[in-house]
Structure 1
Amino acid sequence: MAENNENLEDMSQEPMGFSDKVEREINNGIEADKLASEEEIAENQAIDEESFEMTAEEKLKIELAEMKDKYLRLYADFENFRRRTAKERLELISTANADTMKNILPVVDDFERAIKSFDETTEVKPLKEGVDLIYQKLYKTLESKGLKPMKTVGLPFDAELHESIAQYPAPNPELKGMVVDEVEKGYFLNDKVIRYAKVVVGA
């Protein structure tokens, strides 16, 4: 009976030791898995941080490329605008010259007819009247295009408008510094000086 009791105690103790061992192994496995998970989480965080840094750098590169592209497009647009404006300006000047020439051609025709009439008549008066009419016609044509003569004689000398080519002793003090004679007429074109008047100034 005593032996049976000892055997029963041994049998009852063996499963208890085995269970402890199993439980210990399970706990060890849980601890190992926990440590592995923590290491994996830390590694993933490091990878995420590195990925974030790379993403920020790439984002800056993309933004820089976009700004460079916008700059190049803007520069190209400006160059196209500059070329187009220059072309339009040249075309405008060419068209304006063509329009002026077209208006002057009838005057040229009148001069050609007047030259032919010189051989057909010996009377001076009709020729003079014809030339005067052609001059008036030419003057009105140019005036319609904005041409306007300067008034100089009797006005104070103005270096912005006049070119003094000589000085003449003024007959009275009031004429000192005044334009006393005009050698070559000056002209405005739309209120802009296109030829300075050559004048004689009282000294």
Structure 2
Amino acid sequence: MNGKREAHETEGRETAPVERAAETNPAGAGAPQGGAPSGSQPDRDEAGRAEAGNAAGADQPEDAAPRAPEAGEGAAGDDAETDRDEEAGDADVAALKARVAELEREVAALKAQAQEAHERFLRARADLENARKRFEREKQDALTFGALRLVERLLPVLDNFERAMEASRATDNVEALMKGVEMVHRQLDQALRQEGLEPIEALGKPFDPNVHEAVMQAESSDHPPGTVIEELQKGYTFKGRLVRPTMVKVSK
């Protein structure tokens, strides 16, 4: 279609000068006034130049002429570009959806980890509370049963005291009474030692302010100064801890 239109336009350009020349000097017209003959030399030269120009224009390649776009060609290009834009937009939306799904999975995993950590914390707190209660109970049991054990060991001492008192009422034998008292003393001392109670030895030893308490001083020719020469009240330690110091008299 374009070739036919261009050929038609070329043919029109070739015939247009000839027609204009014919109109200027129509065939059979008489010579103009002044006696100039029809088809004079100037007219022929002008017509020759026009034909040469038309021939030169016809020899030019078709690509030199501007090409007008066919009907619908611009609309088709716009539609193709729109389709490409839509495809790119769809790809971006799909990528965003995939990223959102990935983030949602990560959030779900983090929530599960947080829930598990919270449950472990609750179990650990419950275990700690149970351990504390158990420790308090065992501590109280230790105090209770520790005292019970001491009481059990002192019961024979109490029994012997009662027997000694009954014997003293039934007889006037002081020697027998003293033996009973000494036996009770030994049992009591043994029971207390088994629990960790130890007497502090002080007589004849140098004065030690950590375990001795000097309440009196006296001259002594048998002991050097600063020596315990008499125990006024026995002191004790319980499992290495001072219960009370020994009250002593010290030489000077």
TM over 0.5: yes
Report the Cα offset of residue 62 of structure 1: 5.8
Equivalent in the alignment of 2:225: 176
Report the Cα offset of residue 168 of structure 1: 0.8
**1:133 corresponds to which letter in structure 2?**
M
The verdict on how the C-alpha distance between 1:47 and 1:195 changes in structure 2, with shifts beyond 3 A counting, is same
For 2:209 and 2:71, locate their aligned partners in 1 and report how far apart those are by CA, in whole Å: 119
Q: Which has the higher helix share?
A: 1
The answer as to 2:235 corresponding to 1:186 is yes
The answer as to 2:84 corresponding to 1:30 is no
> Of 131, 148, 164, which residue of structure 1 is paired with 2:181?
131
The answer as to 2:203 corresponding to 1:153 is yes
Report the Cα offset of residue 56 of structure 1: 6.0
Work out which structure has the larger RCO, using CA pairs closer than 8 Å and 6 or more positions apart in sequence.
1
Report the Cα offset of residue 78 of structure 1: 2.1
Equivalent in the alignment of 1:115: 165
User: After superposition, what is the alpha-carbon deviation per residue over 1:157-190, rounded to whole angstroms, capped at 9, x for unaligned?
Assistant: 333322x242414536x74343333221112233
The verdict on how the C-alpha distance between 1:123 and 1:202 changes in structure 2, with shifts beyond 3 A counting, is same
- TM-score, structure 1 as length reference: 0.70
Report the Cα offset of residue 109 of structure 1: 1.1
Query: Does the 8 Å contact 2:168/2:174 carry over to 1?
Result: no
Matched residue pairs, number? 186
Query: Does the 8 Å contact 2:229/2:248 carry over to 1?
Result: yes
Describe the SS at the equivalent of 1:76: helix
Report the Cα offset of residue 52 of structure 1: 5.9
Equivalent in the alignment of 1:144: 194
- Sequence identity percentage: 25
The verdict on how the C-alpha distance between 1:78 and 1:175 changes in structure 2, with shifts beyond 3 A counting, is farther
For 1:70 and 1:170, locate their aligned partners in 2 and report how far apart those are by CA, in whole Å: 75
For 2:90 and 2:251, locate their aligned partners in 1 and report how far apart those are by CA, in whole Å: 105
- Alignment RMSD, CA only? 3.5
Query: Does the 8 Å contact 2:214/2:249 carry over to 1?
Result: yes
For 1:72 and 1:158, locate their aligned partners in 2 and report how far apart those are by CA, in whole Å: 55
Structure 2 runs not aligned, ≥5 long: 6-69
**Greater Rg, structure 1 or structure 2?**
2
Describe the SS at the equivalent of 1:35: helix
**1:190 corresponds to which letter in structure 2?**
K
Query: Does the 8 Å contact 2:218/2:249 carry over to 1?
Result: no
For 1:178 and 1:56, locate their aligned partners in 2 and report how far apart those are by CA, in whole Å: 83
